[in-house]
């Protein structure tokens, strides 16, 4: 039985990914800052780590065949103060640095390291029809630079002749939390809330497809480098909300627009970059590599499974 480390694996993605990996015959070691608050099971162990203090479980590194790094503070959890911006960067860079240093210093049999990034790398859309591809340069805003530092932190692993895969995630849609929960919160009041004009385009991915992308990154030895982890259908935020609303609460609901100026006033730079910016990313590269999406579009089947 092969062993996978999920670094920062207690969040929405980590929980679903751990279940998938176990069902596929892997043993999972989850690195978390709060191992004592979780219960081990037959094929999942929770182990303490602290990237800020450079503390990692050496024995786990020796046991692992694969490492998937999911660590990082929530981008949209709160306003970006100077302190919060530093937390967003350090939580990503320190974890990548620690994994790279551990693999350099600890004898191990790790074959592949799979790191997480985001389509925030690209910044705002260049034009109405442009779709960002993986070879394009980073943007110039805070999220772009955060992604650059994030991706660079794991690159020293290449010098160890290990395979590296970096997945640039779009907005992850899951029924168990994350961004979708916030987008549809008003549904329980028979209302649909649009942020700003609602015209800003969103690159998204269903949680099931994302977990199977990580699985492909483990199993497909031909896969290496950077891939956009997004669905085939980039949509305006209003279209996403309307499709969801019609499926979940019917054809009659109250539309509520939150003005852009109010979001910028309340949330500052975070509101502008995360909630109001269009980023359209292409998934052509990962499809060319042989990955088939279960939910390439936001259709009825996709929404029913959210």
In 3-state terms, what secondary structure has residue 43? Answer: coil
The residue ranges of every structural domain in the chain are 3-172+205-230+280-289
Kindly indicate the confidence band of residue 278, based on its pLDDT and cuts at 50, 70 and 90: very high
Q: CA–CA distance from 145 to each of 42, 54, 141, 222, 281 (Å)?
A: 40, 23, 7, 29, 17
Q: 86-111 pLDDT, tens per residue?
A: 999 999 999 999 999 999 999 999 99
Q: What is the pLDDT of residue 182?
A: 87
Cα–Cα dist 147/229, whole Å: 14
Q: Higher pLDDT residue, 281 or 126?
A: 281
**Residue of 195, 183, 163 whose CA lies nearest to 245:** 183
**Residue 199 CB coordination number (10 Å):** 12
Question: 128 falls in which pLDDT band (50, 70, 90)?
Answer: confident
Q: What is the average pLDDT across 136-161?
A: 96
Q: Compute CA distances 156 → 51, 100, 102, 159, whole Å.
A: 16, 6, 11, 6
Whether pLDDT at 281 is above 90: yes
Separation in Å, CA 80 to CA 92, 151, 272: 16, 21, 11
Confidence of residue 36 (pLDDT cuts 50, 70, 90): confident
Residue identified by tokens 């269903």 is 206
The pLDDT of residue 226 is 98
Distances (CA, A) of 124 to 117, 130, 237, 275, 279: 16, 11, 15, 11, 5
In angstroms, the CA 78 to CA 69 distance is 22
Q: What percent of the chain lies above the pLDDT cut of 90?
A: 92
User: pLDDT tier at 178 (50, 70, 90 boundaries)?
Assistant: confident
Span of 18-22, 26-30, 175-179 with lowest mean pLDDT: 175-179
Check residue 66 and give its pLDDT. 98
Residue 177 — very low, low, confident or very high, per pLDDT cuts 50/70/90?
confident
Fold of 3-172+205-230+280-289: Rossmann fold (3.40.50)
For residues 259-288, give the mean pLDDT: 95
Report which DSSP code applies to 138: P
Is pLDDT of 179 > 90? no
Predicted pLDDT of residue 74: 92
- Residue 27, exposed/middle/buried by CB under 10 A (0-12, 13-18, 19+)? middle
Give the CA diameter of the chain: 61
Instruction: Inform me whether the pLDDT recorded for 27 exceeds 90.
Output: yes
Question: What is the per-residue pLDDT for 292?
Answer: 97
Q: Specify the pLDDT at position 176.
A: 87
| pLDDT of the residue at 122 | 97
Residue 53's pLDDT is 94
**Closest of 233, 234, 229 to residue 291, by C-alpha:** 229
- Given a cut of 90, whether residue 294 has pLDDT beyond it is yes
CA distances from 270 to 86, 88, 143 (A): 13, 12, 9
Taking Cα atoms as reference points, which of 55, 63, 65, 59 lies closest to residue 99? 55
């Amino acid at each position: 039985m092969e062993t996978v480390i999920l670094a920062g694996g207690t969040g929405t993605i980590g929980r679903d990914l751990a279940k998938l990996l176990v069902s596929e015959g892997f043993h999972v070691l989850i690195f978390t800052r709060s191992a004592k608050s979780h219960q081990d099971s037959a094929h999942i162990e929770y182990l303490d780590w602290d990237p800020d203090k450079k503390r990692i479980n050496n024995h786990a590194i020796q046991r692992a065949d694969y490492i998937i790094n999911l660590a990082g503070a929530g981008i949209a959890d709160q306003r970006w103060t100077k302190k919060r911006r530093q937390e967003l960067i350090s939580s990503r860079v320190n974890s990548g640095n620690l994994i790279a240093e551990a693999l350099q210093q600890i004898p191990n049999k790790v074959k592949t390291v799979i790191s997480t990034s985001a389509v925030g790398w690209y910044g705002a859309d260049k034009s109405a029809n442009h779709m960002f591809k993986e070879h394009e340069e980073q943007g110039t805003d805070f999220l772009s630079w955060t992604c650059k530092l994030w991706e660079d932190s794991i690159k020293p692993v290449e010098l160890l002749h290990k395979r590296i895969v970096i997945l640039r995630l779009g907005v992850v849609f899951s029924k168990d939390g994350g961004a979708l929960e916030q987008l549809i919160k008003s549904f329980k009041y028979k209302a649909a809330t649009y942020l700003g004009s609602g015209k800003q385009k969103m690159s998204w991915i269903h949680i099931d497809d994302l977990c199977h992308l990580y699985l492909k990154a483990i199993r497909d030895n031909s896969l290496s480098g950077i891939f956009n982890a997004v669905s085939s259908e980039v949509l305006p935020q209003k279209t996403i909300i309307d499709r969801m609303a019609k499926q979940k609460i019917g054809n009659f609901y109250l539309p509520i627009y939150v003005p852009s100026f109010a979001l910028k006033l309340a949330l500052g730079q975070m509101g502008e970059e995360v909630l109001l910016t269009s980023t359209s990313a292409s998934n052509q590269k990962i499809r060319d590599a042989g990955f088939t999406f279960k939910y390439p579009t936001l259709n009825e089947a996709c929404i029913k499974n959210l």
